[in-house]
Amino acid sequence: MKIISVMEAFHVETGARRVLFEREGRFEAPNWHPDGYLVYNMEGKLHTYHMDTGVHGVIDTGSADHCNNDHVLSPNGRFVAISHS
pTM greater than the 0.75 cutoff: yes
Taking only the tens of pLDDT, the chain with its 85 residues reads: 899 999 999 999 999 999 999 999 999 999 999 999 999 999 999 999 999 999 999 999 999 989 988 899 999 999 999 999 8
pLDDT at 4: 94
Per-domain boundaries in the chain: 4-81
CA distance 58 to 38: 11
pLDDT of residue 31: 94
pLDDT of residue 84: 93
